[in-house]
Amino acid sequence: MKIAFFGDVHGCVLHALGAAVLLQRHRGITLDAVVQVGDLGAFPSADRWDEPTRRFAATTPAQGDFFRLLDPSPALADGVRRALAEVPPFTFVSGNHEDHDWLAGLHAAAGDTLVPVDPLGAYRHVQCGEIVEVAGQRVAFLGRIEAPGTPFDYDEQAFARTLAAAPGSVDILVTHDGPYGLSRNMRGEVQGSARMTALIEHLPRLHVGGHYHHENGPRYHGDTVSYTLAQLVPPVRTKWSPEPVNPRQQIVPGSIALLDTDGHVVEYVHDGWLADVHGDDLDLTALLTAAC
pLDDT in tens, 86-103: 999 999 999 999 999 999
**Residue 72: C-alpha distances to residues 18, 33, 195, 224 (Å):** 16, 24, 40, 41
Contact 216, 180 (CB under 8 A): no
For helices 13-27 and 74-84, what crossing angle results, to 10°?
40
Of 182-191, 214-223, 274-283, which range is least confident?
182-191
Q: Which residues pair with 190 in a beta bridge?
A: 184
pTM of the shown model? 0.97
- Cβ-proximal residues to 109 (8 Å cutoff; 6+ apart), any chain: none
- Cβ-proximal residues to 182 (8 Å cutoff; 6+ apart), any chain: 191, 192, 212, 216, 219, 228
Pick 186 or 291 by higher pLDDT. 186
Residue-wise pLDDT for 234-281, tens only, equals: 998 877 777 888 999 999 999 999 999 998 899 999 999 999 999 999
3 state SS for 132-178: EEECCEEEEEECCECCCCCCCECCHHHHHHHHHCCCCCCCEEEECCC
What percent of the chain is helix, strand and coil (3-state, nearest 5)? 30, 25, 45
CATH fold, domain 2-291, is Purple Acid Phosphatase; chain A, domain 2 (3.60.21)
**Mean pLDDT, rounded, for 19-35:** 98
Domain ranges of the chain: 2-291
Examine the pLDDT at 291 and tell me if it is beyond 80: no
Query: Given the DSSP bridges, would you call strands 114-116 and 206-209 parallel, antiparallel or unpaired?
Result: unpaired
Of 106-120, 182-196, 256-270, which range is least confident?
182-196
> How far apart are the C-alpha atoms of 191 and 44, rounded to whole Å?
30
Q: Within 13 A of 62's CA, how many CA atoms are on the CB side?
A: 27
Examine the pLDDT at 292 and tell me if it is beyond 70: no
Contact 63, 41 (CB under 8 A): yes
131: left (phi over 0), alpha (psi -120 to 50) or beta: beta
H/E run at residue 69: helix 65-70
Count other C-beta atoms under 10 Å from residue 189's C-beta. 8
Residue 186: what pLDDT? 80
Q: What's the alpha-carbon Rg for the chain, to the nearest Å?
A: 18
Rounded to 10 degrees, the C-alpha dihedral 119/12/80/33 comes to -90
> How far apart are the C-alpha atoms of 272 and 216, rounded to whole Å?
20
Phi, psi (rounded to 5 degrees) for 164: -80, -15
Residue 108: what pLDDT? 98
